[in-house]
Amino acid sequence: MSVPTGFDELIHPATRLSVVALLAATEWAEFAFVRDSLSLSDSALSKQLHTLEEAGYLELRKVGAGRKRRTNVRLTDRGRAAFEGHVAALRAIVEGAGAPARQHPTEAAR
């Protein structure tokens, strides 16, 4: 089976897919909200966000100052399009798996 159009190797790892799926449902999200929602450590989330930001899939924005400084994150248009394409590709894979299976050679001989 070939990989469907839209399948995104960058988004596919479970943690990144979870991050992108969560962000797809929001305009902006605070770092702490994403971290807590996905039960990730600060460092694990930071690493994933950096990878996605480098690819142009999300934007990070620091707001506030001092102890009240927060990091907000959102999907870019490119990130949203990549996520939607990846979801469509996953659906195509799942639907393809539901196609009628070929008979096992021993069953066909009966």
How many helices and strands, by DSSP H and E, does the chain display? 5, 3
Q: What is the pTM of this model?
A: 0.83
Write the pLDDT tens digit of every residue in 60-73.
999 988 888 999 99
Domains recognised in the chain with CATH numbers: 14-93 (1.10.10.10)
Write the pLDDT tens digit of every residue in 32-46.
999 999 999 999 999
Rounded-to-integer distance, Cα 10 and Cα 95, Å: 22
Write the pLDDT tens digit of every residue in 78-94.
999 999 999 999 999 99
Cβ neighbors of 64 (< 8 A, separation 6 or more) are: 70
Cβ neighbors of 81 (< 8 A, separation 6 or more) are: none
Tokens 């990878």 -> residue: 51
Q: Is the pLDDT of residue 105 over 80?
A: no
Residue 59, strand partner residues: 74
Which pLDDT score is estimated for 38?
A: 98
